[in-house]
Structure 1
Amino acid sequence: MDLSKLLIPGAVRVIGQLTSKKRLFQELGELAAQAYGMSAAQTIDGLQERESLGPTGVGHGIALPHARLEDLTQIRGIFIRLEKPLDYDSVDRQPVDLVFALFAPKDSGVDHLKALALVSRTMRDQAVVSKLRANSDPAKIHAILTEARASQAA
């Protein structure tokens, strides 16, 4: 499994500022609908339901919101870079500026966990994170993310 199979170029966005986690989830839902034809409402509900179990802000300005959804046939990713960090209730209480959301079919089992682990490893790579923060072009951000794991695997 690699990120190029989870994240298409049209699912990467740079946003200036969002006012709340709820607004971020709405943005993720809209982007999921545009990029993958997913239901925005189901996507938002899934994210909020998962977030109610505990925050998905993993620290160092990074959030990995995720949800398992009905009517989804494969794992899908969305990446948003915020130009102005957002208060997210992260484990380290730091605001978030890098958000990699994952959506998996309800019955995806271990594949969902493998995808989440892959994204988590990628987002722990300081060189990748620095490049992501230094770029505002969604195409470049997509290339950084999808090439990051490939070059480490080689």
Structure 2
Amino acid sequence: MQLSTIVKPAAVRAYPQASSKKRLFQDISELAEQIYGQDASQTLDALQERESLGPTGVGNGVALPHARLHGLTSVAGVFVKLDKALDFDAVDRQPVDLVFALLAPKGSGVDHLKALALVSRTLRDPDLRAKLRANSDPATLHAILSSGRGVQAA
């Protein structure tokens, strides 16, 4: 599994700023609707429901919001780079500027977990994070994400 199979180039965006986590989730949900045909309100509800269970800020300025949704046929991603970091209640208490939202079919089980592990391991790389932060062009951001070696998830 590779990130290039999870996130389409059109699902990679750079935003100058999001006013709140809720607004960011709305933007991600609208993008998921445009790119993957997934109902925006269902996606928003699922992302917020998952976030209410515990924050998805994993540290180092990275958040991995995720949700399982009816209607999807495969795991899909939306990547957003923020110019102005948001508070995400991250484990290291640092604001988040790199957000990879992972959307999976309701019954995806292992594929969802493998994809989550892949994204997590990829964004744990400090050099990759630095390259993402140094660029704002969506095509370049997608190329950086896709250039990471295909990490074998457990």
- Tell me, what secondary structure is at the counterpart of 2:146? helix
Identity of aligned residues (%): 66
What TM-score comes out, normalization by structure 2 length?
0.96
CA positional deviation for 1:17: 0.8
Q: CA deviation at 1:114?
A: 0.2
Secondary structure class of the residue paired with 2:98: strand
Q: Which residue of 2 aligns with 1:40?
A: 40
The aligned runs of 1:70-85 (5 Å cut-off) are 70-85=70-85
The unaligned stretches of length 5 or more in structure 2 are none
The CA RMSD over aligned residues, in Å, is 1.1
1:7 and 1:149 map into 2 onto residues whose CA distance is: 15
SS at match of 1:99: strand
Q: Which residue of 1 aligns with 2:12?
A: 12
Q: Deviations over 1:75-104 (max 9, x none)?
A: 000000000101111111111000000000
Distance 2:118 2:2 in 1: 8
Shift of 1:71: 1.0
Segments of structure 1 that go 5 or more residues without pairing to the other structure are none
1:149 deviates by 2.1
Q: How many residues align?
A: 152
- In 2, Cα distance between the equivalents of 1:46 and 1:70? 10
State the 1:34 CA deviation: 1.2
Q: Which runs of 4+ in 1 moved over 6 A?
A: none
